[in-house]
Amino acid sequence: MNIKQNISNISSYNTDLFQKDFLLTWEKNEDDLKAILDIANTLKMMRDQNISPRVFDSGLAVSIFRDNSTRTRFSYASAANLLGVAVQDMDETKSQIAHGETVRETANMISFLSDFIGIRDDMYLGEGNKYMREVGDALDEGYQKKVLPHRPGIINLQCDMDHPTQSMADLLHLKNYFGSLDQLRGKKIVMSWAYSPSYGKPLSVPQGIIALMTRFGMQVELAHPEGYELIPEIVELANKNAFASGGSFHVGNSMEEAVKDADIVYPKSWAPFHIMQQRTELLKNKDAKGLTNLEQSCLANNAKFKNWEYNEAKMKLTKNQNALYMHCLPADISGVSCVNGEVQAKTFEKYRIETYIEAGYKPYIIAAMMLANKFENPGLILDTILQRGKERVMM
């Protein structure tokens, strides 16, 4: 599809993205999601064709990372820079938060000349998404009371419930890999737990995948050992989405059974829902001994399921013995990053470049969320950029 056709599609959607935060994919309608995908693809095509899509000549995109990050941190910075906004990372250890500064105050103080706030807060179950909404409420008040000249848009860079920039990048990868969203209908995707020698990995990636892919008529399989459940409400949401889209959703306790005839496999470790609940309470209470005991118990339990590794034998069970392998990265690669992990080294290497391509869509997804938040008609803005034809690099 060429840029002009993409832009035409964007303008045809009935969206509700303008001046709205992007916190959970399931809060967005189908046209919203399609628009983000097409805006992202358009921005990527412009970049590939050396067209500068800068629409700002000043302003800040503030980032708040309460957990470590490589891909998402750099994707957020790349997205902001692509559109012409500077990035300022907020290091909470260097702020006045330690001296009692409230969320309400912090949100306003960082927003005087800011256009976007990207937040990653996935450490505390039941708290991350809540914190983002608290920041949003503070920004609403600041704008309404004329403290702020405009209200920055918030982008969820991962919370306890969802990782929308990741799942949307994954969906764009699938759309382009198979040819269109329509081609995804009936495709079987397996979101499977996989063994990891670490503890406390967030639930947001698997939850984001099952909640999003069930909206596009896919056959979604969730596989995990007994006891490694996700947040029940999000599992039920995936059920409802599958019914509404004409797809299917099934939960099982065998990786081998799940991957049979699969078109796509996504083996990824996560901590059980009930463990994350316990961990959250221990973190809140600053119970170091309790956290140590919980970690040791969880690692011992994980070790019972070292056979939950995606490998050549399991790949041979998939459709044509070569289902597309996906991962949000970094993967725990057996014999490379750990002794035993999520995926066999030989198997990962076959799809390593594809996982890099998958990750490469994230900056464009974030930039698309930014553009749709700031401009009521992003299709018109993109057409104006195209007509302007400004080169990014002077040739």
Question: According to DSSP H, which parts of 319-393 are helical?
Answer: 345-360, 362-374, 378-388
- How many C-alpha atoms does 292 have within 13 Å on its Cβ side? 3
Sorted by where each starts, the structural domains of the chain and their CATH numbers stand as: 3-162+362-388 (3.40.50.1370), 166-359 (3.40.50.1370)
Residue type, 350: K
The whole-number average pLDDT for the span 288-314 is 96
Would you say residue 395 has pLDDT above 90?
Answer: no
d(CA 251, CA 375): 40
Q: For residue 67, what pLDDT is reported?
A: 86
Cβ atoms of 263 and 319 within 8 Å: the answer is: yes
Residue 214 is classified by DSSP as: G
pLDDT above 70 covers a percentage of the chain that reads 98
Question: Given a cut of 70, is residue 19 above it in pLDDT?
Answer: yes
Backbone φ and ψ of 60, nearest 5°: -120, 145
Q: Kindly report the pTM of this predicted structure.
A: 0.96
Q: Above 70 in pLDDT, residue 98?
A: no
Cα three-residue angle 159-139-108, rounded to 5 degrees: 100
- Checking if the pLDDT of 89 tops 60, the result is yes
Mean pLDDT of 241-246: 98
Query: How high is the pLDDT of residue 75?
Result: 98
Higher pLDDT, 259 or 91: 259
Contact 219, 189 (CB under 8 A): yes
Instruction: Output the pLDDT for position 81.
Output: 97
| Helix 204-213 × helix 232-245 angle, to 10° | 20
> Exposed e or buried b for every residue in 43-71, given b needs 16+ CB within 10 A?
bbbbbeeebbbebeeebbbbbbbbeebeb
- Which residues have C-beta within 8 Å of that of residue 92, sequence separation ≥ 6? 64, 66, 98
Which of 297-304's residues contact partners 24+ apart within 8 Å by CB, and which partners?
A: 298/199, 298/200, 298/271, 299/197, 299/198, 299/199, 301/227, 302/195, 302/196, 302/197, 302/199, 302/269, 304/225
Asked whether the predicted pLDDT for residue 375 surpasses 60, the reply is yes
Q: pLDDT at residue 68 above 90?
A: no
pLDDT for residue 116 is more than 60: yes
394 band by pLDDT with thresholds 50, 70 and 90: confident
**Predicted confidence band at 94 (pLDDT cuts at 50, 70, 90)?**
low
How would residue 92 be classed by pLDDT, with cut points 50, 70 and 90? confident
- pLDDT value, residue 124: 87
Write down the mean pLDDT value for the chain.
Answer: 96
